[in-house]
Amino acid sequence: MKVGIVGAGMVGSSAGYALAVMGTVSSVVLVDRNAELAIAQAEDIAHAVPFMSSCVVEAGEYDQLAGASVVILAAGVSQKPGETRLALLERNAAVFRDVVGNVLRVAPDAILLIASNPVDIMTQITVRLSGLPAARVIGSGTILDTARFRSLLGRHLGISPQSVHAYVLGEHGDSEVLAWSNARAGSLSLAGFAAQVGSAITADVRARIDDGVRNAAYKIIKGKGATYYGIGAGLARIVKAIAQDQQEVLTVSMVNREIEGVADVALSIPRVIGAKGIVTDLFPDLDAEESAALHRSAALLKETVEAVSL
């Protein structure tokens, strides 16, 4: 399977590297308006390939995306320290006007996988710009927030993140919702598991984990200027679900007809992903507080997307 990546900056190249490491696709093509950067990133990633897989990694023009099954859109301007994701919107919407038309001209059947922030808004803008069915325009959404939530819960409980089933819903950003009420460890409720291993989830623990998930990106950006390895791996995980038609449940963003009473808005809930893109939406059981928080997150995103003129 061929995967295109438009935007060979930190996020796009990290996704390319993760795809090459995982070896689930046969070809990766990097495109960037800075051709020299795309060539350099592709060469660097290609030199890692002999140590781990047989993926062909190249740089190219848009024409080389012909035949791509998935195109990752990671082009844009990066988040500066202190800048909110929503403040990036106007700058990145302009970039997407250029990119989406160029991609669809050569790869009209591709699934578009959106990585640029603010990702929920960019996902909705891409549906508007492309006219594609919503299920073929997937935003990376809270895939990484969910991974962070599982990782922190797993560390507290002394188990692998893969044994924790917990989801972060809504906006990939400040208004996201950690769904504590339906989180499980192994086959047990969180409280039941925590009691058995003697690691109670106190109010303090909960606040620390909430902060660790919600503010992870801000902390990483403060220390190193950008976040990319985590999201690169998350994007490669979504591509793997598509490439192998895995029917995997992942929290990704998509334009929904209605969420918590808010119509036509893109945000993350758990969804089943396979070869055709998003196959099924899974509306989680939430308590009243979480439902209200998800409504607020949806309403905020809706308000923002309505402000964008295309």
105 annotated to bind ligand: no
| Binds ligand ADP by CB under 6 A, chosen from 23, 26, 33, 289 | 33
Contact call for residue 5 and ligand ADP (CB under 6 A): no
Which residues are part of the catalytic machinery?
A: 172
Q: Does 270 bind ligand ADP (CB under 6 A)?
A: no
Phi/psi of residue 259, nearest 5 degrees: -140, 125
Q: Please, what is the minimum distance in Å from the beta carbon of residue 59 to ligand ADP?
A: 12
- Check whether 9 is labelled as a binding-site residue: yes
Rounded Cα distance, 240 and 17, in Å: 14
The answer to whether 182 is annotated as binding is no
Beta carbon nearer to ligand ADP, 83 or 98: 98
d(C-alpha 206, C-alpha 196), whole Å: 18
Indicate whether 78 belongs to the interface with ligand ADP (CB under 6 A): yes
| Part in contact with ligand ADP (CB under 6 A); list of ranges 33-41, 61-69, 211-219, 295-303 | 33-41
The CA–CA distances, whole Å, from 102 to 65, 74, 108, 130, 278 equal 10, 14, 10, 11, 23
Nearer to ligand ADP, 78 or 126 (CB): 78
Is 118 part of any known ligand binding site?
yes
Distance (Å, rounded) from C-alpha 307 to C-alpha 287?
31
Q: Which stretches of 131-215 are DSSP H helices?
A: 143-157, 190-197, 203-214
- Tell me whether residue 16 or residue 76 sits nearer to ligand ADP (CB atom): 76
Closest chain position to ligand ADP (CB): 9
Q: Angle at the Cα of 238 (from 274 to 88), degrees rounded to 5?
A: 130
The Cβ of residue 182 has, within 10 Å, a number of other Cβ atoms equal to 15
- Chain centre distance of CA 219: 18
Structure tokens at 282: 């899974």
Tell me, by CB under 6 A, how many residues bind ligand ADP.
20
Q: Given the rule CB under 6 A, which residues bind ligand ADP?
A: 6-12, 32-34, 37, 74-76, 78, 95, 98-99, 226, 228
- Known binding-site residue numbers for NAD(+): 7-12, 32, 62, 76-77, 92, 115-117, 140
